[in-house]
């Protein structure tokens, strides 16, 4: 079974869950739902959320997970086709970007988090995820968007430090048998950030955070690129 077949299977599963979710109602009973909306302003928040949870179906969970899985597998599939990867052996042929492209694309893709955040809250607000008494989505937008701008500073510092003396472009998936301390520490360093990135990716997929899934997968490629650039320094010295 090829990599493309596996990822295509995940894409089909994701689209299937998403399609199935569209056939399910949001709530179990329309009359009970109408009564809850009528009483929403007279109930305390705890009582509202308890009754709302009892009435809600698994529609939104299936919709979010299906969409997240579809976007993730679709993005990976595009990557496989773009780099002409069919078998695992083809991974050795994948090349990284050069340093300039790493900086330019990283900043441009990171900025997608801004429209992505706007879409995240407007989409969920439009389908009724938030109670009638909830504050405007303007509050999380005005809080999160400036944070994304500020995070561009540590992002570029990280890129500067990890591209320092890096050999780019190079093979994306390179390994070195030598067990020098510098190589081990490099692998641990990037292994840590790849683990953190993977943890966020799982959360974005489960939550159906459409744009964040794509951004996360792109930065997986960037982290692998930075790792390869650092590891390749020692291969060139031999």
- Determine what percent of the chain is predicted with pLDDT higher than 90: 65
User: Quick one: tokens of 122?
Assistant: 């407007």
Phi, psi of 104 (to 5 degrees): -65, -50
Cα distance between residue 37 and residue 41, in whole Å: 8
Over the chain, what is the mean pLDDT? 89
Q: Calculate mean pLDDT across residues 24-33.
A: 80
Band (238; pLDDT cuts 50, 70, 90): very low
Q: Which of 25-39, 92-106, 133-147 has the lowest mean pLDDT?
A: 25-39
The residues pairing with 160 across neighbouring beta strands, listed in sequence order, are: none
- 1 pLDDT tier (thresholds 50, 70, 90): low
Under the banding of pLDDT at 50, 70 and 90, the label for residue 135 is low
Lowest-confidence pick of 4-13, 122-131, 152-161: 122-131
pLDDT confidence of residue 13? 97
Those residues with Cβ within 8 angstroms of residue 131's Cβ, 6 or more apart along the chain or in another chain = 40, 45, 48, 49, 52
β-partners of residue 234 are none
Higher pLDDT: 174 or 224? It is 224
Lowest-confidence range among 45-54, 56-65, 71-80, 218-227? 45-54
57 contacts: CB under 8 Å, gap ≥ 6:
24, 25, 26, 27, 28
pLDDT at 140 over 90: no
Has residue 59 got a pLDDT over 60? Answer: yes
- H-state helical runs in 128-177: 138-150, 152-163
SS3 state at 27: strand
pLDDT in tens, 172-198: 998 876 778 888 899 999 999 999 999
């Amino acid at each position: 079974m090829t990599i493309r077949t596996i990822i295509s299977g995940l894409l089909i599963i994701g689209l299937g869950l998403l399609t199935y979710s569209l056939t399910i109602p949001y709530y179990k009973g329309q009359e009970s739902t109408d009564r809850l909306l009528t009483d929403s302003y007279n109930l305390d928040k705890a009582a509202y959320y308890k009754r709302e949870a009892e009435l809600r179906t698994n529609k939104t969970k299936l919709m979010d997970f299906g969409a997240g899985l579809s976007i993730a597998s679709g993005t990976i599939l595009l990557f496989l086709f773009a780099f002409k990867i069919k078998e695992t052996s083809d991974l050795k042929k994948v090349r990284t970007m050069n340093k300039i492209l790493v900086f330019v694309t990283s900043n441009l893709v990171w900025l997608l988090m801004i429209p992505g955040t706007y879409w995240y809250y407007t989409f969920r607000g439009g389908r009724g995820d938030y109670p009638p008494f909830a504050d405007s989505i303007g509050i999380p937008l005005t809080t999160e968007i400036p944070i994304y701008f500020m995070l561009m500073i540590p992002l570029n510092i990280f890129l500067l430090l990890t591209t320092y003396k890096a050999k780019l472009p190079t093979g994306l998936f390179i390994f070195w048998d030598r067990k020098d301390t510098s190589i081990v520490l490099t692998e641990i360093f990037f292994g840590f950030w790849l683990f953190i990135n993977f943890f966020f990716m799982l959360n974005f997929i489960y939550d159906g955070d459409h744009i964040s899934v794509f951004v996360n997968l792109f930065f997986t490629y960037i982290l692998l690129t930075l790792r390869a650039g650092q590891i390749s320094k020692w291969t060139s010295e031999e």
